[in-house]
A and B are shown apart, each in its own frame.
Chain A
């Protein structure tokens, strides 16, 4: 079945460092890909998405490019801030076989130190 694999955390960075969180997927057909973020004590919220190959999603300085040839959707940010400390979830939706249900990775916890 469809699945998402994320790099293991936690990830600890200093403020202004470059961030990469790796995400790869397995799916039939042409899924849509998402990054969700969960700040401490809150529910998840959509950070960015891409719906077809070579699309780049971006929001709040974060970017991710849908790479079909490598089945990847890595999250990047050029300069992280303390306020970016959160858990980041990669997810996919394969609308051909589901009611829009998302399949989530296990999450990667990011801690940014001042």
Chain B
């Protein structure tokens, strides 16, 4: 079972560059999420989606964009990368909004220099 797949696993960007973090899930989950994990700070929600075509901001959306054209895919776009975006990014999905059981990908470590 693939579950939630994120690519790339590692990436180094220069300040001002742009990139897209890919996330795909094969569990037919409606709900998908992007979190960032900074050292000692837990996870912060960036964006989430409740279904194809529907996205909404989380706690820390500035500097990011998302789209959800299919149930399976939920890419995260970083425009004009800044050092403050150096972090580990996790994509997650869930079947419903009411169980709290999220399935996480392995994470993407991004460094902006």
A residues near B (Cβ < 8 Å) are 4, 32, 34, 41-46, 49, 89, 91, 93, 95, 99-102, 104-107
Q: 1/0 per residue B74-113: CB within 8 Å of A?
A: 0000000000000000101010111111111111000000
Contacts known (A104-B43, A105-B42); A99 close to B106, Cβ less than 8 A: no
> Are A44 and B102 in contact (CB-based, < 8 A)?
yes
- Docked pose: A93 CA to B48 CA in angstroms: 15
Across the interface, A46 reaches (CB within 8 A) one of B4, B31, B97, B101, namely B101
Contacts of A91 in B (CB 8 A): 100
- Which single member of A4, A102, A105, A106 contacts B102 (CB below 8 Å)? A102
Pairs A-B, 7 closest by C-beta atoms: A100-B97, A43-B104, A106-B42, A104-B42, A93-B100, A104-B43, A44-B104
Contacts of B50 in A (CB 8 A): 99
A43-B106 contact in complex given A95-B97, A95-B98, A100-B96, C-beta closer than 8 Å: yes
Is B4 a contact of A100 with CB atoms below 8 Å?
no
A89 to B37, CA, bound (A): 12
- Smallest Cβ distance from B6 to chain A, in angstroms? 8
In the bound complex, what is the Cα–Cα distance between A62 and B109 (angstroms)? Answer: 30
| Residues of chain A with a CB closer than 8 A to B107's CB | 42-43
CB of B101 within 8 A of CB of A43, answer no
Measured in the bound complex, the distance between the Cα atoms of B98 and A105 in whole Å is 19
